[in-house]
Amino acid sequence: MELKVYKITGEVTDRSVALDDAIFGIEPNDHAIYLDVKQIMARRRQGTHKSKERGEISGSTRKLKKQKGTGTARAGSIKSPLFRGGGRVFGPRPAVHGFKLNKKLKKLARKSALSYKAGDNQITILEDFNYDAPKTKEFIKLLKNFELDGKKVLLLTPETRENIYLSSRNLKNVKYQNSASINTYDLLHAQQILMLESSLETIDAMFKN
């Protein structure tokens, strides 16, 4: 598959790039995508939820009443879950919700996501650029040049470019990422992927290792 290369002004150049069919043109594997996104979302859970059980409640351990002869149920402690203010039965405890996935499966999921985006014409290749200083107005102008204002955009560069990151970080629907750290969730979440031309080398190298 070949894509035209664009200037940041929105004008098309006379150059084009060939996308590797082994990365951008495979038959997508939906189950691999499902598992990878599930793992990403699970790892984002804090897992810090906690409630106190009866052994952690502060309070007296004095027996409330005599064992027999009251006509009511036995009661040994005010910290019993049966009483107001008592501990919770089988309450939530801190937990790690992430789980392991094989590297080959995660690579397959990312290639599947890229193939979906390429097939839906949701990848735009830009000439390499950088800003001399952080300029959010210039970045907003770039989005307008491609009629992307209001859309969810993922911008990929071959390495972290501080001024581009600072120019885009305050924009609600824009996510900036180093192309070596792409993940399936962010690729699918974006309505359009803006990719610097030199990012393709980084992506090719990442999937061939």
Domain(s) labelled CATH 3.40.1370.10 in the chain stretch across 2-46+98-208
62-104 per-position pLDDT tens digit: 999 999 999 999 998 999 999 999 999 999 999 999 999 999 9
pLDDT bracket for residue 208 (50, 70, 90):
confident
131-169 per-position pLDDT tens digit: 999 989 999 999 999 999 889 999 999 988 899 999 999
pLDDT (0 to 100) of residue 21: 92
Helices (H), the chain: 21-24, 30-43, 103-119, 136-145, 162-168, 184-189, 199-208
pLDDT (0 to 100) of residue 162: 92
pLDDT bracket for residue 177 (50, 70, 90):
very high
Work out the number of other CB atoms within 10 angstroms of the CB of residue 61. 8
**CATH of span 2-46+98-208:** 3.40.1370.10
pLDDT (0 to 100) of residue 63: 92
Q: Are the beta carbons of 6 and 145 closer than 8 angstroms?
A: no
Torsion of Cα atoms, 112 then 115 then 121 then 124, to 10°:
100
123 pLDDT exceeds 80? yes
180 pLDDT exceeds 80? yes
Q: Which residue in 24, 26, 4, 8 sits closest to 16, CA to CA?
A: 4
4-61 per-position pLDDT tens digit: 999 999 999 999 999 999 999 999 999 999 999 999 999 999 999 999 999 999 988 8
Q: Are the beta carbons of 77 and 64 closer than 8 angstroms?
A: yes
